[in-house]
Amino acid sequence: MYRAPLRELRFVLEELLDSRSLGACPAYAEYSDELGASILEEAGRFAESVLDPLNRPGDREGVHWSEQGVRTAEGFHDAYQQFKAGGWPQLGADPRFGGQRVPQSLDSAVQEILASANLAFKLCPMLTHGAVHALTLSASPKQQQLYLPRMVSGEWTGTMVLTEPQAGSDLAQIRTRAVPEGDHYRVFGQKIFITWGDHDFTENTIHMVLARIDGAPAGVKGISLFIVPKVLVNSDGSLGERNEVKCMSVEHKLGIHASPTCVMQFGQDKGAIGYLVGEPNHGLEYMFVMMNTARLAVGVEGYAVGERALQQATEYARTRLQGKVPGATGHTPAPIIQHPDVRRMLLTMKSCTEASRALALYAGLQLDLGMHHPQEDVRRAALDRGELLIPIVKGWCTETGNETAAVGMQVHGGMGFIEQTGAAQYLRDVRITTIYEGTTGIQSNDLVGRKLTRDRGAAMAAFLTDMQRELREINSADAVVLQTRDAALRAVALLERTTLSLLAGLGTQPERAFAVSVPYLKLCGVVIGGWLLARAAALAAARIEGADRAFYQAKIRTAHFYAKQILPQALGLAQVVEEGADSVLATDAELV
C-alpha cells in the first residue's frame, strides 16, 4: 500500500530549498508553506485512496481498442472524474484560464505523489499540462480563449504528437503534411507512440501536432506546430463535428499497460483540420516548451516509481523471515532487513531516491526563480541553472529510478520475479522513463552539446562555485556530517576537473565529448545528489532534538551511506569521461 512521503517532501521544499524565499517573487506573494503542505496532503489522500488501488488491476487489464476508440481499464474513467472535480488539472496553470498558480517545485512534488501511486494514470494529465504550457506561451489570444479554459479545467485533455514510423527521435525526417485551406490547414500523416492519444476520459482531446507545410524547407527548419482537435470546436466553444483523427491501434508494451500508447492517423480522406500555432516553420521551438516541461516531469516519474518500489521492498524486508543473521545466536529465522546486504540494498534505494528528489525539486525551484524573480540578474542566473539541470534530472533520475526498481526486485528474491508481489510491475513501468522525451543519450548530448557549450561552461562553473562555497560553510559537531561534507567536496572538485577537461576537448574534437556524454551526465547527477544530501545532513544535525529526532537521524545516516557507497562512483565515471573516448572512437562500427 502506497503512502505519500509527505514529511520527506516537506523537508526538501521547506527546509532544504527554503521555499519561503519564493515570497520575493510577486507571482508567489500569496504562497506559503502552509498552503503547500495542505496541497501535498490532499494529493496524498487522493493518490492513496483512488489511484493506488487501481495501479495493479490496471496493469493486469490494460486498455481496450475498437473501431469506436479506446476504453480504459475499469475504474480509470471514474478516477479521472474525481481528479477533475478535485481541481487537480488546474494546479500550476495560468489563472487567466482558470488555473491555480503554484511554484513548479511544489507542482513537481505533487507529480511525484501521483506517479508513485499510478504512473499510467498520471501520464494523461502530465501531457495535458505540457500542451497547456505550450499554448499559453505560443498560441494566439483567440486560440488560448478557445482551448485553454477547458483544458485547464480538465474538461479536455492534450497530447504531444511528434514521432513517426520512419523518424523516431530524428524530427528532421517528419513527413506529416499540412496543406493550407482558408484560415486552417488540412493535415495528413501517421504518428506513433502517442501517449493517451485516445481514451474515454473526456469528450475531446487537443492534439499538438508537428507537421510540414507544403513547400517548407527541409529538415527541422521546416517544421510547424498545429492544434488538431479530436472533435472540432465551434467559435462559441461548443463541440462540432468529429475531426478526421483516428486511433488505428494501441501498442502492446513492456509496462504502463493502463496507459494507451496509440498509432494515430490524421487525414485518411479530406485531411484533419488543424490550426497553425505561432509562425510557420517555428514548430520545433514551440514544441520544445512542452518537451522541457515534460522532461522535468519524466525525471520526477523515474524516481517516483523508485520511491514506490522502495516502500514495497522495505515492507517486505521487515516481514519476510528467512535465514540466520551473521553473528546472531540461535536458529530462529530473522526478518531479512536484519541481514547486512539487504540493509545495504534498501539504503541504496533510499539514498538514491532522496538524492533524486532533492535534485528534481531544486531544478523546479530554479525554474520558479528564473520565471518570476523581480531581479533580472537573479532571474537570468536561475533560468540558466534550471535549463542546465533539465537533462541531468531527466537522464539521471530516470536511470536511478530503473536501478532502484531493479534492486527492489532483488530484495524480494525469487518472489520479486513473479507478478504476485507487484515488484515486477515497478521495474516494467519505470523502464519507459529513460526513453520518454528523449533517451538518456539524447539528454547527455543536450547537456554537453548545448547546455555546456552555449556559454562555454559559465553556468556550470557558477554552479560548482556555489556548491563548494555552501559545503565549506557546513560546520557541525557531528563527525558523520563532516565526513559526508568532505566526501561531497571531493566529488565536486572531481566534477569541476572533469568538466574543464570535457570543455577543452569540445573545442577541438567534439566527437570525443559525445562518446562519453552519458557517463558525464551520470557523474553530474551523482555529485549534485551528494551535495544536496550533505546539506540535508547538516540541516538535520542542527534540528535533531525534538519530536522529529528519528526522522533527522535517518537523514544523517542516509546521507552518510550515500557518501560512502554511492559517491565513490564519481571516481570511476570521471575516469571514463577523461580517458574513455578512444575506446569508442577507435572501434570501427563494423566491429561492434
Q: Which residues are catalytic?
A: 437
- Nearby residues of 258 by Cβ (< 8 Å), 6 or more positions away: 54, 55, 58, 59, 61, 62, 63, 72, 73, 76, 118, 120, 121
Bridge partners of 454, per DSSP, are none
Q: Which residues of 406-437 are buried (b: 16+ CB within 10 A; e: fewer)?
A: bbbbbbbeeebeeeebbbbbbbbbbbbbbebb
Number of CB atoms found within 10 A of residue 314's CB: 17
The dihedral region occupied by 474, where left means phi > 0, alpha psi between -120 and 50, and beta the remainder, is beta
CA-based R_g, the chain, Å:
24
Number of CB atoms found within 10 A of residue 137's CB: 14
Q: Determine contact, residues 470/535, Cβ cutoff 8 Å.
A: yes
Which cell is 383 given? 533560468
Q: Determine contact, residues 154/88, Cβ cutoff 8 Å.
A: yes
Pairing of strands 261-266, 272-276: unpaired
Bridge partners of 180, per DSSP, are 185
Whole-number Å distance between alpha carbons of 573 and 576: 5
Pairing of strands 204-213, 177-181: parallel
Whole-number Å distance between alpha carbons of 12 and 474: 18
Whole-number Å distance between alpha carbons of 93 and 108: 13
DSSP assigned state of 324: P
Per DSSP, the three-state class of 98 is coil
How big is the CA angle at 223 (ends 222 and 224), to the nearest 5 degrees? 120
Tell whether the torsion through CA atoms of 19, 23, 28 and 30 is positive or negative.
positive
Q: Determine contact, residues 563/532, Cβ cutoff 8 Å.
A: no
Whole-number Å distance between alpha carbons of 97 and 515: 45
Pairing of strands 204-213, 261-266: unpaired
Which cell is 170 given? 530524428
Q: 298, 281, 355, 331: which is closest to 530 by C-alpha?
A: 355
